[in-house]
Amino acid sequence: MTVAPAPAAAGGAGTQSPRRRRRPGSLTWPAASLALPFAILFALFFLAPIVYAVIQSFLASRSGGLGLGPPTIGFAGLDNYVQVVTDPDFGAGVARIGLFAIVNIPITIGLALFFALVMDVSSIPFRGLFRVLYFLPYAIPGVVGGILWAFLFSPSLSPYVQLLHAIGAGTVDFLSPHVVLFAIANIVIWNFAGYNMLILTASLNALPPEQFEAARIDGCGRLREALLIKIPQLAPAIVMTVLFAIIGTLQLFNEPLILSLISKSVTTTYTPNLMAYAEAFSNNNAYLASAISVLLAVITAICSAVFLGLTRRRSAS
């Protein structure tokens, strides 16, 4: 990305001409330099790593002839990608992410929508307070929230295990193979439901109020108002929150990383991002790690394209 200050030279010619009163909008060097720090940093720490990862993903290290001599680095075509896509662990990780998304996203967005609609009813007491409390977990960093929940899940410390035991539900193991994915989903829901609620609340507040008065005069109750008037108009915002939830799910890392420390069920290839991390650091295969990162970015880009397409259609209509 470059900020090209092209028309500046043309505008600067002939100081005595009427051009002296600068047209608003044409870029001059001092103004362009204001955008320079952002442009340089963006190029160095956003574009460059992406380009570098793409290049790396097409390379591979091969050992010298007969396993002797230093390994050489050469062009590997799509080998890394083929290796990743055909790796059963990667497939399992993607399937896990898919299951996670199916469980997690409807619950998160459903709860957020429910909260936003209920708190939109003006006669509900303390709704401002509820809103703040529900949003609060978003302020706690993912890792810290993850460690907190890891304590709450750990058999020796968990007050929930104590509680369930006390009411006669037996000893529940939140970290067992079939439960731990839901334990992770719980952390994510706890972290993000309130945030999504606020996005939907903001869209609700932006709806024109006259239609609600008209509906009420026609005898429309609050429930029908929510189902028939509000939810359809919130659809674009809901689509947006769902897409961001998908993007967030694709890069799931912090929570499984933390639970992998206390649960044998969470392996180093539990999610694609964990797998990339393991490839880069445990297996020292930067090329394969790059291929995984690029694949993830491509999948994310596809989701973003869908998102952009939807918003464009929305603004066109």
Partner 1 sequence: MTALRAAPPRSRRRAADSVGVPWRVLFVIVLVAFACYFLIPVWWLLVASTKSTGALFSSAGFWFDGFDLGANLRALFAYQDGIFWQWILNTLGYAGLGAALAALFSAAAGYVFAKYRFRARGIAFAVVLGGVMVPANILAIPLYLLFSQVHATNTFWSVFLPGLVSPFGMYLCRIYCEAGVPDELLEAARIDGAGEYRVFFSIVLRLMSPALITVFLFQLVGIWNNVLLPLVMLSDQRTFPVTLGLYNMYASSSSIGAPKDIIALTITGVFVSVVPLVIAFLALQRYWRGGVAVGGVRG
Please report, as residue ranges, which positions from 153 to 192 form the binding site for partner 1 (by CB under 8 A): 154, 156-160, 162-163, 190
Would you put residue 298 in left (φ > 0), alpha (ψ -120 to 50) or beta? alpha
Is the distance from CB of 250 to CB of 306 less than 8 angstroms?
Answer: no
- Closest separation between CB of residue 317 and partner 1, Å? 18
Could you identify the residue written with the tokens 């990339």? Answer: 276
Say whether residue 5 binds partner 1 (CB under 8 A): yes
Is there binding between residue 248 and partner 1 (CB under 8 A)? yes
Which of 14, 18, 37, 88 contacts partner 1 by CB under 8 A? Answer: 37
Cα–chain center distance at 185: 14
Binding status of residue 25 toward partner 1 by CB under 8 A? yes
Question: From the CB of 311, what's the least distance to partner 1, in Å?
Answer: 10
Cα–Cα distances in Å, from 102 out to 210, 246, 295, 310? 37, 10, 21, 21
Contact 7, 26 (CB under 8 A): yes
**For partner 1, the closer CB: 143 or 231:** 143
Q: Does 141 bind partner 1 (CB under 8 A)?
A: yes
Residue with tokens 């029908």: 224
Does the footprint of partner 1 cover residue 41 (CB under 8 A)?
A: yes
Binding segment toward partner 1, per CB under 8 A, in 58-66, 68-76, 85-93, 241-249? 241-249
User: Is residue 143 near partner 1 by the rule CB under 8 A?
Assistant: yes
Task: Pick the stretch among 62-70, 86-94, 129-137, 175-183 that binds partner 1 (CB under 8 A).
Answer: 129-137
Q: Considering only residues 14, 16, 18, 45, which one is a binding residue for partner 1 as defined by CB under 8 A?
A: 45
Taking residues 260 to 279 in sequence order and writing x for each that binds partner 1 by CB under 8 A, - otherwise, the string is: -xx----------x--xx--
CA distances from 303 to 140, 151, 267, 307 (A): 27, 34, 27, 6
Q: Pick the closer one to partner 1 by CB: 25 or 70.
A: 25
Instruction: Give 61-118 as a DSSP string.
Output: EEPPGGG-S--EEEE-TTHHHHHHHH-HHHHHHHHHHHHHHHHHHHHHHHHHHHHHHH
Residue count at the site for partner 1 (CB under 8 A)? 116
The answer to whether residue 90 forms part of the interface with partner 1 (CB under 8 A) is no
Among 185, 240, 266, 269, binds partner 1 (CB under 8 A): 240
Structure tokens at 181: 């994915």
